[in-house]
Structure 1
Amino acid sequence: MSEDSDQRATAFQLTLRTVDDDVEPEVWRATIHSGGVTRFGGETGAAEATVYRVHYANPRWAEQLQDAEADLTSISSAFVDRELISLLDESSLFTDNLCVIASIHVEDARQGPSLSHELVRSIARVFDGDTIALLTARRTGNDGATGFWADRAHWAAIGFVDIPGTTSMILPVGARS
């Protein structure tokens, strides 16, 4: 048995903050806990993300993104430009919803790269029929500074592509695993 194979368990949890009106987007909190013991002797960390979800059938979906707590204005503008999105991922034109991963926090920097990828993949599996976008400039680690999870190459490794003119990326439907 290797040092890293001690009884690992992973739990993924989604919670939804509901509102009574049609003014705000859905706000989801995704959390992943990776249990077990690391080779450093401590427990593995957790990661969490905030996901904003809008429904294209709502005529106010772009305004909902602009009115969100996070600054989603640039991504809203990008997704209004359907031609731009079709150049990046034509399949995204046929989804009913847009999910924007607006922030990610990883507790344990040693687990960060793999844990952040696992968290985003889990989100993509749950929202499989939706367009998945990511704001790359809003990731923080324990020290509060942007880290490897803010690096565009980190996200490109699991299939995300840049949305020109924004600090955002899109996960093409065909790149999901």
Structure 2
Amino acid sequence: MKKAHKGVLYVGVFLCLTHVSMAKDGFSLGGVVTLDNKHVGGGFEVGFPLLQKGFTIRNYISVFAHAAENTNSLLLLQEKITFGGARDSNMARLYGFISGSFGLTMQEQQDMFKSPFAWEGFMGGGADIYGGEHASVFIEAGGGVNGNTLGVMQGFGRIQVGFRGFF
């Protein structure tokens, strides 16, 4: 897990230091670390704008791995839509988001491609804090419900911190 966090950090530093002369709020790549009341995890995301006319709507597709000491590990594919204003004086952008995930549950004595499969629904708010034309650090907080295809469902609260490089 520590190697994954170091890898995410190195990619983030690389993206923050790399300046590509394209649209500053276009396509983005990023890494994220998540912490909720049951799991710790991380992953990467790919984002692109859907609407940018004073009001901004962006789409993010992410792959996450979550793990905890006393629960099953998860590998999730996430779809997230963010909606909010444009950059505030080129320093920050506040937004709300809604996301859904579906993925695999990794259990000790079971094939991970068999049931039960994991899912979650999550919503909240966040802020992109820009460190230049092409890079930002973001923080998101919110809550939702998660469960599996056997019908087990629980609520959770989550904080996500990460970086985005814009191309």
Do the two structures share a fold, i.e. TM-score over 0.5?
Answer: no
TM-score by length of 2: 0.34
Higher relative contact order (CA 8 A, sep 6+): 2
TM-score by length of 1: 0.32
